[in-house]
Amino acid sequence: MNIKGFRRMLVGEKMPDKNDPQYKERYERDVNAGRKFAKATRIDKMAAKIQEFANRNKILFLVMVFGFVIGTFTFNIYRLAKAYHHGQETRSATEVQDSLLRKRHKDLVTPIVEPRQSEQR
At residue 86, the pLDDT reads 78
d(CA 109, CA 27): 80
Query: Could you tell me which residue, 115 or 106, shows the higher pLDDT?
Result: 106
Instruction: With cut-offs at 50, 70 and 90, classify the pLDDT of residue 41.
Output: very high
The pTM for the full model equals 0.47
Q: Where are the domains of the chain?
A: 1-41
pLDDT band at 89 (very low <50, low <70, confident <90, very high): confident
User: Looking at the predicted structure, is the pLDDT value of residue 1 above 60?
Assistant: no
